Amino acid sequence: MKLTSTILTLVLLGCATALGQGALDSRLTTLDPIINDAIAEQQIPGAVVIVGHDGQVVYRKAYGHRAIVPRREAMTPETVFDCASLTKVVATTTAIMQLWEQGKFRMSDPVAKYLPAFGQNGKQDITIRQLLVHYSGLPEDLDLAKRWEGKETGYRMAFEIAPERAPGSSFVYSDINFVVLGALVERLSGESLDEYSAKHVFAPLGMTETRFLPPASWMPRIAPTEEDENHHLLRGVVHDPTARRMEGVAGQAGMFSTADDLARFAQALLDGGRGVLTPATVAKMTSPQQPATGTAVRGFGWDIDSPFSTNRGELLPVGGYGHTGFTGTSMWIDPTTRTYIVLLTNAAHMNAVPGKEKGSVVSLRTKVATAVAAALALDPSEAEKMRLASATGYNEMQSAARKLAVRNGAVKTGIDVLEETEFRALHPAKGGGPRSIGLLTNQTGVDSEGRRTIDVLANVPGISLDAIFSPEHGVTGTLDTTDIKNTKDAATGITVYSVYGASEAARRPPIDVLKRLDAVVIDLADAGARFYTYEATTGYFLEAAAKAGLEVVILDRPNPITGSFVQGPVSDEGRGSFVNYFPVPVRHGMTLGELAKMFNAERHLGAHLEIVSMEGWQRGDWFDSTGLAWVNPSPNLRSLTEATLYTGVALVEGTNVSVGRGTDTPFEVIGAPWIKGRELAAYLNGRGIQSVRFVPTAFTPSSSNFAGLRCEGVNILVLERNTLDAPELGMELAAALHKLYPDDFKMERMEELLVNQAAFEALGAGQDPRRIAEGWQDRLDEFVRLREKYLLYK
């Protein structure tokens, strides 16, 4: 062990020597006028820049001065900076992630489980995840108006403070979050934050010039900031007033470092966390972890795409991560182009210059990152672009702070592509008897000209359409009953076999009919919800086709509510049913073709499956971006708004409430005779649920629950569909009904569609829905990784 440590130290010292020699890629001299202009305009006294690319330092240069007062001192590459909030990500977040790797906690754990005093004043449900992503609802900082001193006093104040917003509801960048996380590191590790960071973060990476509480010997190289409240110039003393009162060591600020050391840290993350974290942990830490409704995209600690992401510049793609510090420091790390940018300034020092207000580096950070990307031609490879698009949709991140709006597409569905390719996927017979096929379809099976797929396939030479199969609601999509009989199609005279009914047997395709066919074609529009029964019907056909030895050809269609969002609890293993064919989340973000591909592989069905993919569809497309005509996929999904709400509101329709069936607006309202509309609307609006508002209403359904009875309830208004987590909305509705009407609301049957025992039990125990949603995040992350293998549209 000692030999290994010695070798590692020598290697890291070698790296330090290489850095010390400097690096000047001529392409990056475009940075010179940008930074020199900022100095001339007195935005900053000076700066140190290090750019790394493809594992090498390609630019390292100091500009201007590190001090203007009391006397001018030239900036050098070895200058030590007060890193301010870079402390959050370099020291505190890394420490937290190491402790998470060790199994010391779960991200969804309430902070009060480990710091009981934190649970007072409405904070008992705030989770560790919410602290890390700044969605805790806590204020921005501790009260500095009154005098106080000491780390323990700071902790006590943080533990006593009350949230200003509902936890999980909105993004507020808060230093208190990281004050508490610093305390958590100490509680879980048994070491102070500075001791832990030095031993487990800085030392393994050879960051010999990084620490809290810098020694006096460093003082000549430290860049001063500004004067404190006693008019003493801060040099070697942390600038952040909260951290200063907490004796210089706090989770949000207090770390001092050099550009060289931060470059080592950045390269270690690009190398998969070498020496401090595992690659899987780095990937999790730097991928979106904010609530599904969040518009500010945050990793654990790290910024990805938010109003604070100016240091990403205009050209680097979403997919990188970074952070800034109030004193003028920043770093951005882009794994897509294998690049990092460390820009250290002490802009705060301009406050100490007589007659000069505080400098600003916001625009400078943007200009530097943009210039680096342009100079090095940092264009992601096509493979990387496809990887990002497959994970996030064409808007890179649909709910990001700087998102695109919508696009106007011209999508060709599977039947259109089949027609254009002269039905090649069906292998029409060129001689002898025609190839016998069956077709599972309904009213949604139409081409771009409005022709039924039934009529199109019935007239293809070399093909004989010998059987039609109809799913729930029948071949016309108008029946709302389990009693659907076999019929004949009026236009073609072909027998229509119903594969929907009250029993399991009635929902299975007839094997004797399948055995007379060569192939089955499936053309159905799905709704994007796990419990929509067309998905199970497709799975049943794959099973039967494998047994009968015939081919399945799926003519793919859009997921109407996009292929970008994956939301809600993953259904429990071993609980397969007609509304849960395979363990997927409520909102899976997949097309029917992609689901079939996953079912066939993951359940080892062995069906001969071919998918005729769409052309022109992108994962970020809502249905109104496709250029296709809306056809109701079922009698009670009559609009895109209803489909948008369906994955949430439908979760409660198995209970004793009306979800608007038998009205003009199914799934846009909920109600019951025992609900008080104004009371329920006031409670739900008071929850601050992202993207929706609630209006008291009354209605009388003509069918389904409470047919003919007057119901009070709420009308649900969708304000921003890209930030709506509909399954979490469903949990909010159930929780509100359970809280307000405990004697009337019968929640038991909700489990039939939820199919997640942990979430259901938490709901029954009165747990906050946002906390419940955090509890299903780990399994959701696992599903996203599985799902990516089967995505057809990148």
- At 268-310, the pLDDT tens digits run 999 999 989 999 999 999 998 988 778 788 999 999 988 888 8
Question: Stretch 763-783: mean pLDDT, rounded?
Answer: 93
Q: Is the pLDDT of residue 174 over 90?
A: yes
Q: Characterize the bridge pairing of strands 567-570 and 692-699.
A: unpaired
We report the CATH number of the domain holding residue 691 as 3.90.1150.140
Q: Which of 736, 755, 774 is the last residue of a domain?
A: 755
- Report whether pLDDT(497) > 80: yes
Together in a domain, 661 and 612: no
**pLDDT for the residue 268:** 98
> Where does residue 779 rank: exposed (0-12), middle (13-18), buried (19+ CB within 10 A)?
middle
Q: Which of 646, 633, 642 is nearest to 726 (CA)?
A: 646
Tokens 């379809």 belong to 441
CA-CA distance, 613 to 594, in Å (whole number)? 9
CA dist 484 and 481 (Å) reads 7
Give yes or no for residue 12 having a pLDDT over 80.
no
Q: Is there a domain that residue 762 lies in?
A: no
Q: Do 40 and 104 lie in a common domain?
A: yes
Binned at pLDDT 50, 70 and 90, residue 360 comes out as: confident
Residue 351 pLDDT more than 50?
Answer: yes
* Confidence at residue 89, expressed as pLDDT on a 0 to 100 scale: 99
Residue 416 has pLDDT above 50, yes or no: yes
Looking at the fold, whether 138 and 283 belong to one and the same domain comes out as yes
Is 710 contained in some domain? yes
The CATH number of the domain where 626 resides is what?
Answer: 3.40.50.12170
At 437-469, the pLDDT tens digits run 999 999 999 999 999 999 999 999 999 999 999
What pLDDT sits at residue 392?
45
Contact 478, 507 (CB under 8 A): no
For residues 324-343, give the mean pLDDT. Answer: 96
Q: Tell me, what CATH number does 300's domain have? A: 3.40.710.10
Last residue of a domain, one of 570, 602, 630: 630
Query: Of 112, 95, 119, nearest to 189 (Cα)?
Result: 95
Cα–Cα dist 335/332, whole Å: 10
pTM score, whole prediction = 0.81
- CB-based burial of residue 143 (10 Å sphere; 0-12 exposed, 13-18 middle, 19+ buried)? exposed
Q: Are 438 and 521 in contact (CB under 8 A)?
A: yes
Residue 314 shares a structural domain with residue 200? yes
Question: pLDDT value at position 62?
Answer: 97
70 prior amide bond cis, ω within 30: yes
> Do 727 and 615 sit in the same domain of this protein?
no
Residue 616 lies in a domain: yes
Residue 2: band (very low, low, confident or very high) from pLDDT cuts 50, 70, 90: very low
- How many angstroms separate the Cα of 203 from the Cα of each of 106, 207, 299? 26, 6, 25
Residue-level pLDDT at 429: 86
* Residue 380 pLDDT level (bands cut at 50, 70, 90): low
Give pLDDT tens digits for 570-604. Answer: 999 999 999 999 999 999 999 999 999 999 999 99
Percent of the chain past pLDDT 70, that is, above it, reads: 93
* Residues of the domain holding 452: 414-630
- Residue 401 is assigned to a structural domain of this protein: no
Centre a 10 Å sphere on the Cβ of residue 757 and count the other Cβ atoms it contains. Answer: 13
Tokens 């999509």 belong to residue:
477
Domain check: are 626 and 682 in the same one? no
Residues 141 and 247 placed together within one structural domain of the fold: yes
Same domain, 625 and 646: no
Q: What are phi and psi of 673, to 5 degrees?
A: -60, -25
Q: For tokens 């939301």, name the residue.
A: 567
- Could you tell me if 346 and 200 lie in one domain? yes
Residue 781 lies in a domain: no
The C-alpha atoms of residue 423 and residue 615 are separated, in whole angstroms, by: 15
Whether pLDDT at 613 is above 90: yes
Helices and strands of the chain, counted as H and E runs: 25, 24
Residue 125 reports pLDDT greater than 50: yes
Domain count, the chain: 3
Spatial CB neighbours of 461, under 8 Å, sequence gap ≥ 6: 428, 434
Q: How far apart are CA 593 and CA 591, in angstroms?
A: 5
- Number of other CB atoms surrounding residue 401 within 10 Å: 16
pLDDT at 393: 47
Query: Quick one: average pLDDT of 19-43?
Result: 83
pLDDT at 21 over 80: no
Could you tell me if residue 776 is inside a domain? Answer: no
What angle do the packed helices 726-740 and 640-649 form, to 10 degrees?
50
CB atoms within 10 A of CB 58: 18
pLDDT tens digits along 193-221: 999 999 999 999 999 999 999 999 999 99
Residue 31 and residue 62 in one domain: yes
How buried is residue 490: exposed, middle or buried, by Cβ count under 10 Å (0-12/13-18/19+)? Answer: exposed
Judgement on whether residues 420 and 301 belong to the same structural domain of the protein: no
Of the candidates 220, 259, 258, 252, the one whose C-alpha atom is nearest the C-alpha of residue 236 is 220
Neighbours of 788 (CB within 10 A): 11
Q: Mean per-residue pLDDT for 764-780?
A: 93
Phi-psi region of 673 (alpha: psi -120 to 50; beta: other; left: phi over 0): alpha
* Residue 259 sits in the same domain as residue 384: yes
pLDDT tens track for 502-556 = 999 999 999 999 999 999 999 999 999 999 999 999 999 999 999 999 999 999 9
CB 115 within 8 Å of CB 126: no
pLDDT band at 385 (very low <50, low <70, confident <90, very high): low
Parallel, antiparallel, or unpaired: how do β-strands 435-441 and 519-523 relate? parallel
